[in-house]
Structure 1
Amino acid sequence: MASVDRRSFLRRSAAVTGGAVLTTTALTTLGAHAAWADAGRPDADRPGEGGRGGYGPLRRARAANTGEELLALPAGFSYSVFGVTSTVMSDGIATPIAHDGMGAFPGTRRHTVTLIRNHEVRTAPGTATGRVLVPGSARYDELGVSGTTTVEVDVRTGQVVRDFISLNGTVVNCAGGAMYRGAGWITCEETTAGPAQGWARKHGYAFEVPLRGPEPGKPAASQPITAMGRFSHEAVATDPRDGFVYQTEDHSGRPNGFYRYRPRNPRRLADGGVLEMLKIAGRTNEDLRQGQRVGRRLPVEWVRIEDPDPNLENGAKTVAEQGLATGAAKFNRLEGCWYGEGSIYFSSTSGGDVKQPGAAPAADGFVNGYGQVWRYIPGRRHDEGGSLVLVYESQGRKELDSPDNLTFTPRGGIVLCEDDASNDDDTHPLAPGIANVNRLIGLGKDGRPFEFSVNVADDSEFAGACFSPDGDTLFVNTLGSTTSATPPGRTYAIRGPWRRGPL
């Protein structure tokens, strides 16, 4: 995701010697959460009550600009809704379907924020429904259906100033992250499909969307950064100190990796670099999907991926297979990834010891859990591996069900977007009639998760959470359908008394 409140984050990072020491905020959070977990999770959040560590009880609320009742929020918070699927944008094209990962950047005029938003369209090659497409533009795959839109919004009113397709010709653009020094957005394909699946080109890459340059009717030319790896990408986070790009992988049914890309030039990722996969020092194929302890620091080293752009069509080893063959660690479905407090935070959607009822085991016997949140603390130099800490692990669907995108807040908290992957009849009193409800879950310095928002409109997952550069507005999407216009994708701007609580 995008680097939010970047100056504040850089100031915090400068206080950390080489990024190798835990900051006060992180120490407080880790210690508090470990103590709370050891005590049996007293006062654990109950649906609709918001959690004692949060902002208080939630209530259904109407959008300030449309009057629709779409979200439940704590008292004092309000929201606007915009960028809804099928609404016509400034470039004359209908807003695509499937709103996913997103980043927030300074706008071009006073009181505005520029959002770059992914669209995880999963229709067949060349399908018109909800497609991200500017005819005649330079695009990687002529049959591509996915890409990004850029939206400039007035944070005072929630009104869109302009919106347009900023990249097209890609496939299954799920999440991403900020480019070095906030120059734009890295959007990622969550697939390794290719011509065998009907596409014109191979997929599974990261692409750059410059903040300045794309205009209505003139999207950026989509060119894959092959050196960053070909795999089922999810999110990325760029360390502002050295330009290293950390990447998560989300491939169901087998162990996934956590990756680091060391570019030759942080400002020109396509110039090449080194792709590496995380390994626990002194341990071969450490299984981090389960059996872990909150707060324990694990020393890390990195193993090199020799073939970052494997020819999978001819049976080459996947990036993950290459890393595992040299001892890299195993994760399960890594998704959200964000830089904050001198570290990289990332989520494992289905990791953990408490298992989802009825979940089918993977080929190696692993059964999905309810989710984990990890923190990687870089070493002082690239040849020092750093360390890894489990920040949080869910003990059941009421606490947290399948964390996907996440953001580190300007005040030192974490916002987690639920993707209710458990499908275990997850109902909620504020959303009657919806069988699998999705929420925004906060994780503050007291170590306890709490409900911050509930999607009461439909069963779409939350995605793309990110704060405005001034830290006063939380932008977030609900995905909608990835194959049709119903339910629609939506983007929200949430404002309120943030300093009253941990976010």
Structure 2
Amino acid sequence: MTELDRRSFLGRGLATAGGVLASGVAMETLGAHASWADAGRPWTDPNQVGYGPLRRTPARNTGEELLALPAGFSYVVLGRTGTPMTDGVATPIAHDGMAAFPGTRRHTARLIRNHEVRTPPGSPIGRVHVPGSERYDELGVGGTTTLEVDLRSGEVLRHFVSLNGTIINCAGGMMLHGRGWLTCEETTAGRGQGWERKHGYIFEVPLDGPEPGRPAASMPLTAMGRFSHEAVAVDPRTGYVYETEDDSGKPDGLYRFRPRNPRHLASGGVLEMLKIKNVDTYDCREGQTMGTRLPVEWVRIDDPDPDLENGAPTCTQQGLAKGGAKFNRLEGCWYGDGSVFFNSTSGGDAKNGDAPGADGYREGYGQVWRLIPGTRGRGDTLVLVYESPGRRELDSPDNLVFTPRGGIVLCEDDASSADADPHPLAPGLTNVNRLIGLDPRRGEPFEFAVNIADDSEFAGACFAPDGSTMFVNQLGSTAELDPPGRTYAIRGPWRRGPL
């Protein structure tokens, strides 16, 4: 993700698609957390850290108890699945990746939100669809919606479809200089699965242009690769776009796109996969040591838009054949402190008990990686900054958010079927998802929020440009109307604690 207005947070940080491009305090937080975990310190009672004990909290505007939050924090529900939007379309299902931009008026913010709809081609259930608009695939069911929100009242001023004709829009990232949102398809499906066009691409959603009833034209950026995309982060110094891959059950790669014109990605460029220097197919998924600096080189993907339907090798296969490094379930991705941070949701040595993947790898509880781009002739460097020792500390991190005040929030996406993790605040739920905060002073993890409504993941966490409000999504079902997707706007005494 990329920087916006340096004055936004009074010199403490910068707004980004994933949250905040903070000062070095945030990097120190990760360092402290790695030290905390590496020392084998026991899990602290969550009542004694962060903002104190959590309590089941009703939404201010609906009265439903959907989240557990610390005392003093409140929230409103924005854009629940099925709610009629300004353009007359019902709010789609599957609320996923999201970015917060300055609004068109004072005290407002504009959100661009992904919808990871996984219904069959042309299905009417919860789809993102505006008849007569310029769509890439007429049968596409996914896309994005845009919301204008009053930050003081929490009222949605208008909301509408801003892109359609795509499928399985999972995560993404902010375009260079905050000009819009890059939305990513987490699939490589095509005509063989019933779609009219092949999928697995990144699409642009301009900040300015889409209006109610007039979504942006959906045009794939084919040079950026055809694979199961998750998130992207843009280096504002070079315009390079870093892309994560999540092809569940198989080794994944970290990609870099070097555009010919950083302001016009459709002009093409070069797609590459990360490789550990002088080591072929280095396995980053397990057996790693936090803090070790691994030298990086990049291998070119010769065919970034492979004809998979006729047996062409995938982007991953091409990269691994040249010695690219292996990761597992790369998801959230964020630019800050001159580096790219990304999560391997199921990397690590502590295993969650799920069945092994296609190559025998057994999933872990998650890793946080830092890629440091080289300067002045120096090569890039990869560092493991945190690896979860178990589900209590952190279970399956997805999005990574640096806050305006130097803290860190990790969104859990616990998809484990073997290791149940019930929670006392969510009776009846087997796999509970949380927002986990990291204390900048001690690096200690703590629970900031618990989804007590259902077992779906948290996603799309980001802060309003003025730092007053954290927005976050509850995914809901990706194929049915129930449980519904929801967007929350959370306010409270942020300065009282580490976030």
* TM-score category, normalised to shorter length: over 0.9
1:125 aligns with 2:113: no
Deviates further, 443-452 or 461-470: 443-452
Q: In 2, Cα distance between the equivalents of 1:24 and 1:360? A: 39
Shift of residue 502, structure 1, vs aligned partner = 2.2
Greater CA drift, 204-213 or 291-300: 291-300
Q: Is the 8 A contact 2:140 2:167 kept in 1?
A: yes
1:416 lines up with 2:410 in the alignment: yes
Which residue number corresponds to residue 154 of structure 2?
158
Conserved 8 A contact 1:339-1:408:
no
Q: 1:26 to 1:495 in 2, by over 3 A?
A: closer
Query: How far is 1:98 from its partner?
Result: 0.4
Task: Between 272-281 and 202-211, report the one with greater CA deviation.
Answer: 272-281
1:68 paired residue number: 64
2:131 maps to which of 128, 131, 135: 135
Show the 5 A alignment for 1:28-427.
28-42=28-42, 44-46=43-45, 49-50=46-47, 52=49, 54-357=50-353, 359-380=354-375, 384-423=378-417, 424-427=419-422
Distance 1:501 1:4 in 2: 25
Residue 436 of structure 1, CA deviation: 1.1
Look up the SS of the partner of 2:263 in the other structure.
Answer: coil
Query: Which amino acid in the other structure matches residue 416 of structure 2?
Result: S
Cα RMSD after superposing both structures: 2.0
SS of residue in 1 equivalent to 2:111:
strand
Change over 3 Å in CA distance of 1:5–1:492 after alignment to 2: farther
Q: Name 2:18's counterpart in structure 1.
A: none
Give the Cα separation in 2 of the matches to 1:196 and 1:50.
52
User: Do the aligned residues in 2 keep the contact of 1:2 with 1:104 (CA within 8 Å)?
Assistant: no
* 1:256–1:331 contact (8 Å) kept in structure 2: yes
Could you list the structure 1 runs, at least 4 aligned residues long, displaced by more than 4 angstroms after superposition. Answer: 1-14
Deviation of residue 23 (structure 1)? Answer: 7.5
Structure-1-length-normalised TM-score? 0.94
Structure 2 CA distance for partners of 1:175 and 1:4, relative to 1, 3 Å: farther
Q: 1:231 to 1:334 in 2, by over 3 A?
A: same
Provide the rounded CA distance (Å) in 1 between the counterparts of 2:88 and 2:2. Answer: 26
Q: CA distance change for structure 1 residues 173 and 31 in 2, over 3 Å: closer, same or farther?
A: closer
Tell me the CA shift for residue 145 of structure 1.
Answer: 0.2
CA distance in 1, matches of 2:379, 2:253: 16
C-alpha displacement at 1:397, in angstroms? 1.0
What residue identity is the alignment partner of 2:430?
A: A
Between 1:197-206 and 1:5-14, the stretch displaced more is 5-14
Once residues 262 and 6 of structure 2 are traced to their aligned partners in structure 1, the CA distance between those partners, rounded to angstroms, is: 17
CA–CA distance in structure 1, aligned partners of residues 299 and 230 of structure 2: 20
The superposition leaves residues 143-179 of structure 1 with CA deviations (integer Å, 9 ceiling, x where unpaired) of 0000000000101111100000000000100000000
Q: Is the 8 A contact 1:279 1:301 kept in 2?
A: yes
Corresponding residue SS for 1:114: strand
Shift of 1:217: 0.3
Structure 2 distance, partners of 1:152, 1:29, is 32
Q: CA deviation at 1:266?
A: 1.2
TM-score (norm 2): 0.94
User: Are the structure 2 counterparts of residues 60 and 129 from structure 1 closer, same or farther at C-alpha, using a change threshold of 3 Å?
Assistant: same
Contact 1:419/1:462, CA 8 A, preserved across alignment: yes
Segment of structure 1 superposing worse, 235-244 or 3-12: 3-12
Alpha-carbon distance change, 24 to 466 in structure 1, aligned in 2, over 3 angstroms: closer
Determine whether 1:466 maps to 2:459: no
Task: Using the TM superposition, give the Cα deviation of residue 3 of structure 1 relative to its aligned residue in structure 2, in angstroms.
Answer: 5.4
Percentage of pairs with the same residue = 73
Give 2:156's aligned amino acid: V
Measured after TM superposition, the shift of residue 68 of structure 1 is 1.5
Q: Which residue of 1 aligns with 2:19?
A: none
> Secondary structure of 1:56's partner?
coil
Residue in 2 that maps onto 1:19: none
CA distance in structure 2 between the partners assigned to 1:370 and 1:202 by the alignment: 33
- Closer, same or farther: CA 409–265 of 1 in aligned 2, 3 Å: same
Distance 2:293 2:8 in 1: 26
Q: Which amino acid aligns with 2:395?
A: D
Q: Write the distance in 1 (CA, Å) between the matches of 2:83 and 2:13.
A: 41
Distance change >3 Å, CA 458–CA 2, structure 1 → 2: farther
Q: Secondary structure at the match of 1:163?
A: strand
SS at match of 2:28: helix
Provide closer, same or farther for how the CA distance between residues 70 and 6 of structure 1 changes in structure 2, counting only shifts above 3 A.
farther
Superposition deviation, residue 70 in structure 1: 0.9
**What are the ranges of 5 or more consecutive residues in structure 2 without an aligned counterpart?**
15-21
Distance 2:481 2:215 in 1: 23
Which residue matches 2:424?
429
Look up the SS of the partner of 2:97 in the other structure. Answer: strand
Residue deviations 1:298-326, cap 9 Å, x none?
Answer: 12111111111111111111111111111
Q: Which moved more, 1:32-41 or 1:344-353?
A: 32-41
Aligned letter for 1:190?
E
C-alpha distance 78-196 of structure 1, shift in aligned 2 (>3 A):
same
Q: C-alpha distance in 1, partners of 2:444/2:379?
A: 29
